[in-house]
Amino acid sequence: MGTLYYGDSRTPIGIEDRALTHLKVVLTTKLRRNESFTLSWQHAAGEPRGRETLWMHPTIPLRFVFNETERPELSRRWIEQLMRSANSTGGVELLPENLDTGLIRTAPAQPSTVGIDVQRVKGGEG
């Protein structure tokens, strides 16, 4: 489980390492171009039902922390899907990965999940 720190938020956002790696490519590409946009996701199973959105801006500090030491192999297809959402009026929508077989990587447990392990990290920074 990786962690995304945004701005001076005291509440880090836990995102599975593989998803965070792909998200990092998309976010840094947009921010490097000096583009502002939103990043949205649905709450994971076991959390209060709902969704969240962050306003991403090049001047706001952003830090990615990965639990795994090795970077996972990137999926061009998943990055393209995330970039399409990034370039839409709705902003980046954290979408589940579709494997080359067309299957969803992790099937959603409930309609309120995005199919990948996205959740708030409990406790303080560290």
For Cα atoms 55, 82, 123, give the angle at the middle one, nearest 5 degrees. Answer: 55
Task: Reply yes or no on whether the pLDDT at 104 is more than 80.
Answer: no
What is the rounded average pLDDT for all residues in the chain?
Answer: 79
Mean pLDDT of 51-63: 93
What is this structure's pTM? 0.75
- 64-100 tens-digit pLDDT: 999 999 999 999 999 999 999 999 998 998 877 765 4
pLDDT band at 29 (very low <50, low <70, confident <90, very high): very high
